[in-house]
Amino acid sequence: MKIKQDFVTNSSSTSFIFIFKGDKIDFYKTLINHKKEFNISDSDYSRINVWDIIRSIDSVIISGESDLWIKVPIEDIEEFIKKYSEHLLYLENGIKNKGPKNQFDQWEIEEMKKIEDNIELLNKCKNKGLNSVIEIGFGDNDGHIQGGIVGTVMDYEGRNINIESEDLVLFTEQNR
């Protein structure tokens, strides 16, 4: 559930964190190399493939200074690790300020573990030479790519995709 301006909505999305080597064109080539993983359907009439996903991502990606009106940048993996580390520190400080250990919220502890695992995975990727990260949210009515077949199928069926190969690592985070 998310709060938007002054009302509550049950909007949800799934964030896909793609880690790869290179720029926008390299990213698309890498996705094509993994086209089997992106042939997804939630029924006989809602099928998507890697080309549907590439077209959707291309509509929201920033490839450089000239694309200022578009939403999502390709980030350097070092910066992405730094963001995750800052979020982990924020949670740790929040827990410290709560007092005795028995007051810890189980969600916070689980969230910290997930972030620690993701930082470890990101460092493995960096060591393999993967240097770029893009985080794209897909959802039925929320996210960078929302609605339509691609947003909905990726949110509900694509969230089960996990790739850890030499040229692409993909994991998801649920934004519910």
The 10 Å CB-count burial string (b at 16+, else e) for 49-85 is ebebbbebbeeebbeeeeeeeeebebbebeebbeebe
Residue with tokens 């590439």: 54
In this prediction, residue 147 carries a pLDDT of 85
Contact 116, 7 (CB under 8 A): no
DSSP 8-state class, residue 109: H
List the single range of 15-24, 35-44, 88-97, 128-137 with lowest mean pLDDT: 88-97
**What is the tens place of the pLDDT at every residue in 158-170?**
888 999 999 999 9
Mean pLDDT of 14-18: 94
Contact 98, 104 (CB under 8 A): yes
**For residue 142, is it left (φ>0), alpha (ψ between -120 and 50) or beta?**
beta
**What is the tens place of the pLDDT at every residue in 97-136?**
766 655 557 777 888 899 999 999 999 999 999 999 999 9
CA–CA distances in Å: residue 93 to residues 41, 63, 98, 114, 165: 42, 35, 9, 17, 34
Work out the mean pLDDT of the chain and round it to a whole number: 84
Phi/psi of residue 57, nearest 5 degrees: -65, -40
In this prediction, residue 28 carries a pLDDT of 97
The pLDDT confidence band at residue 4, using thresholds 50, 70 and 90, is very low
Instruction: With CA atoms as reference, report the closest residue to 138 among 87, 172, 114.
Output: 172
Contact 157, 139 (CB under 8 A): no
